[in-house]
Amino acid sequence: MSILVIAEHDGNNLKVATRQTIAAAAQLGNDIHVLIAGDYLDNVVAQASKLEGVSKVLVAQAEHLAHALAEDAAALIVSVAASYSAILGGHSSFTRDILPRAAAQLDVGMVSDVVEIISPNSFKRPIYAGNLIATVDSEERIRVLTVRGSRFKSVDAIAGHAAEIKSLPVPVSSGKAKWVAETKGNSGRPELSTARVVVSGGRSLGSEEKFQHILNPLAETLGAAIGASRAAVDAGYAPNDTQVGQTGTLVAPDIYMAFGISGSIQHTAGIKDSKVIVAVNLDPDAPIFQVADYGLVADLFEVIPQLNNALVTEA
């Protein structure tokens, strides 16, 4: 049977997580369909149809799907699920909201945060904040999975490739919830989950003003995304969408820089796939140094300006 990938997009472009999920789906079967829900989807559909391995693009277009809520998106998935042996999505807040509901309505179990596919019925996923890797066998009639995108190489568009495009009938809105509004920052920096460089700060920065004043110049110089520890977010120094860790965003940049972050288990679980981890902390016994490739016991308020000045001068 075919494999269904739930697409993530911003209305104009597919997110990298979808390309990575398609790569994971290719390990389960070679007939991959991509489901795109939303409104005014021409650009997104065109991108998906050209991706390697994609044989069909399913388009669910309706006004109430422009900002898809779990109630409506899950109903859409359930309406087509019988044709598939597996349904996959990236391990993001988007799919973690939708796929558990769809799995429950299908009366099947779900395997989340898959980091390796052993066979169509066997998967590896982290447990105990990433300290152990469990092998999970699933005999469900439909396997519902979220996959950690950083463990799978993103697929590319292929010149001349054009998958079949099919429009779907859209279930009516449940009416149980409605999208009201959202506020997005316009920093011009890359998205946290896909950035090549991430500069993160902890509660040691002391205030929201210092968090922004100290980290922003370095992030601008490096073209980096800004992240934060859970403690910094809880203290109100940084917005929720910057939280890095098991309960926030999982990141896998080329360079992850942690300033004033002690390194709790939930935080280090979210940065383990980073190629290089740099840590600066006044406490020489901070747990972050156990996972860091480079560690400096120093005052971040002195180190960050010096580092930024050196980078600017070098440039």
Q: Which residues are annotated as a binding site?
A: 203, 229-230, 243-247, 260-267, 281
Residue closest to 107 by CA, chosen among 70, 82, 136, 137: 82
The annotated binding site for FAD is made up of: 203, 229-230, 243-247, 260-267, 281
Residue closest to 115 by CA, chosen among 101, 125, 104: 125
Q: Would you tell me how many other CB atoms lie within 10 Å of the CB of residue 84?
A: 21
For 50-141, where are the alpha helices, taking DSSP H only? 70-80, 93-106
d(CA 189, CA 219): 8
Find the helix or strand (DSSP H, E) in which 200 lies: strand 197-201
Cα angle for residues 42, 46, 47 (degrees, 5° grid): 120
Helix, strand or coil for residue 154?
coil
Helix, strand or coil for residue 150?
helix
Residues 278, 250, 88, 22, CA torsion sign:
negative
Find the helix or strand (DSSP H, E) in which 242 lies: none
| Residue 56: exposure state from Cβ atoms within 10 A (0-12, 13-18, ≥19) | middle
